[in-house]
Amino acid sequence: MNYIADAVSVVIPLYNHRRYIEEALESVLAQTKPAYEIIVVDDGSTDDSVSLVRTMARRCPDSFVVWSQPNQGAHAALNAGIARASGEYIAILNSDDAWHPDRLRQCSDAIGEAAAVATAIEFFDSTGTSMNDAFYREARGFFDTCDDLPLALINGNFIMTTSNLFARRGAIMDAGGFSNLRYAHDLDLFLTLMANGGEFKLLDAPLLRYRRHDANTISEDVLSMKAEWAMVTAAYIWRLMQRRAMDWFWYARLTEISDKHGLTRLLIPAVAFLASLPGEKQTCNALYSHGDFARFFRGIVR
């Protein structure tokens, strides 16, 4: 599919965020570099959030694309929106987050030949009050020390969220889009972009406002989250094994990280599982499509 050079398509997956979606959309409409289109995919909301979106879309009907689909998860809504997008670049905004007005301009200016750009983050709560985030501070500090982005993201995903992704549409498509994971589909895509040879640039300006609230998926099932974290790490290892010479020093550093988080015992069965699959199936999508392995894998997480 041909796409429009230098144009930015904003993709917003929406699910039951009536309280927050207006602020999210206002932050897109206030951008110093206007979006070419704003694609809102309602993932089966049961509140009236999509009605509010349609009302706001009347302000600039030529820019909005809005539709509802049965609930399938954030990854499915994102993939549907990206497939519909016309711009060379994709900027994702979750329906409970917001952007600094200059985010699209600064990311567009910075991307160059890179696959993707992410920025620093400002955190705020359900009331809009700014807050500190210890996880982010520690995970970002680890990257500043180790200076290896994939290792740092495996240690702690300080990019945090799909809302922090500004990427080439072609790079996302080459990576296969988002995997069908609930908790780690963002980390999987970030690592896949880099495993495919793409550069991932980081900007120091806090151009994303990430909202912490009780309904964040990050606060849900810790064991399932850990299983997906291990699977994503294994998939990244598997891609590296196919595409570059072994760097044993790098693997030693990875093992230190996986030991620290209790992931090492999960990586062997996860890599073996991926190796057992046909080449085109060796992705994180396989985790939940193979029930026996998913049950086994979930059972050994602790």
Ordered by where they begin, the domains of the chain are: 4-215 (3.90.550.10), 222-300 (no CATH)
Give the residue from 26, 17, 4 showing the smallest Cα distance to 48.
17
Chain mean pLDDT for the chain: 95
Give the model's pLDDT for residue 2: 78
Give the model's pLDDT for residue 42: 97
Give the model's pLDDT for residue 37: 98
Residue 219 has pLDDT above 60, yes or no: no
pLDDT in tens, 77-126: 999 999 999 999 999 999 999 999 999 999 999 999 999 999 999 999 98
Residue 128, phi-psi category: left (phi > 0), alpha (psi -120 to 50), beta (remainder): left
Give the model's pLDDT for residue 220: 58
pLDDT in tens, 119-154: 999 999 988 899 999 999 999 999 999 999 999 999
200-211/166-168 β-pairing: unpaired
Phi, psi at 276, each rounded to 5°: -80, -10
pLDDT in tens, 154-195: 999 999 999 999 999 999 999 999 999 999 999 999 999 999
Give the residue from 227, 236, 292, 237 showing the smallest Cα distance to 261.
227
Residue 244 has pLDDT above 80, yes or no: no
% of the chain residues with pLDDT over 70: 98
Length of the chain: 302
Give the model's pLDDT for residue 106: 98
Give the model's pLDDT for residue 40: 98
Under a CB-based contact definition with an 8 Å cutoff, are residues 90 and 169 in contact?
yes
Give the model's pLDDT for residue 302: 85
> How far apart are the C-alpha atoms of 12 and 24, rounded to whole Å?
9
pLDDT in tens, 194-217: 999 999 999 999 999 999 987 665
pLDDT in tens, 253-286: 999 999 999 999 999 999 999 999 998 899 999 9
1 band by pLDDT with thresholds 50, 70 and 90: low
Residue 19 has pLDDT above 70, yes or no: yes
> How far apart are the C-alpha atoms of 67 and 44, rounded to whole Å?
10
23 band by pLDDT with thresholds 50, 70 and 90: very high
